[in-house]
Amino acid sequence: MTAEHVLDDRPLVPVRRPANKVPEVTAYFWIIKVLTTGMGETASDLLARTLGPVPAVALGGLGLVVSLAVQFSLRRYVAWAYWTAVVMVSVFGTMAADVLHVGLGVPYGVSAPAFLVVLAAVFVLWYASERTLSIHTVRTRRREAFYWAAVLATFALGTAAGDLTATVGFGYLGSVALFAAAICVPALAHRFGALKAVTAFWTAYVITRPLGASLADWMALGHTRGGLGLGLSPVTLVWTVAIIGFVGYVAVSDRRQVIHGEGPVAKHRG
């Protein structure tokens, strides 16, 4: 018997690589992402009105720290933990943007370019350290830290950009139309080879923030402000239920893939 036959007869054994800590980018990913941005917008306003600005910011900050601590403590992607962290980034990010503009008087025309510089700096440091910006290999603490720093920066930039368009004459519904069209640009550019996947992803990620926030504001705010007047509480509740439903579906689907051997465990000879 040759060595080749001996190797071929060896059984298949599972070999585990460090699991990716972030979800695959699918249609459900983008749906949930937009929902979290809108829910974060209305939940932030609701908490500020109910508790007051200072307690609301403190509660939002605590929720962000706890959710990120849970996310970092896990060894693999867990849907509920990841999306809870994204929700808290959205809630706290909205509060921080409001404090910056209302409390400190920083114009949106100043904060938006500033946040763009911050995001660019995160990407430069990330690439200098890891030689990649791929979201498909977020398997180390360092890469995960860079990933969440980028997420925080994109939320800040998206919030400032959305508020800027809403205050220069577009209104909430006009902003929804603007950002819905804008998010198609990176998707189409990537589809036809004009934009690399990483650039297309993060560009779309930024745009989801003002898209979701503008849509939620349009639904929640009164007619005098150009909205439907459904109220902060009902809109927050409906969007929260929608998030839970989609995240639950994704979690069950992921579990089924793992059970049927389609997860991150690869089999090879050796």
Is residue 165 a contact partner of residue 176, using CB atoms and an 8 Å limit?
A: no
pLDDT (0 to 100) of residue 13: 44
Cα 199-73-19 angle, rounded to 5 deg: 55
The three-state secondary structure class of 131 is coil
Supply the pLDDT for residue 212. Answer: 94
Are 227 and 220 spatial neighbours (Cβ–Cβ below 8 Å)?
A: yes
Which residues face 14 on adjacent strands? 267
Q: What is the pLDDT of residue 258?
A: 63
Q: Which residue stretches of the chain have pLDDT < 70?
A: 1-18, 257-270
> Considering the entire predicted model, what is its pTM?
0.85
- Residues 48-61 pLDDT 10s: 899 988 899 999 99
Domain boundaries, the chain: 14-269
Phi, psi (5° rounding) for residue 15?
Answer: -125, 120
What pLDDT is recorded for position 262? 52
What one-character-per-residue DSSP string does 111-153 give? HHHHHHHHHHHHHHHHHHHHS---GGG--SHHHHHHHHHHHHH
Q: Are 269 and 12 in contact (CB under 8 A)?
A: yes
Cα 45 to its chain centre, rounded Å, is 19
Q: How does pLDDT run across 233-270, given as a tens digit for each residue?
A: 999 999 999 999 999 999 998 777 666 555 443 333 33
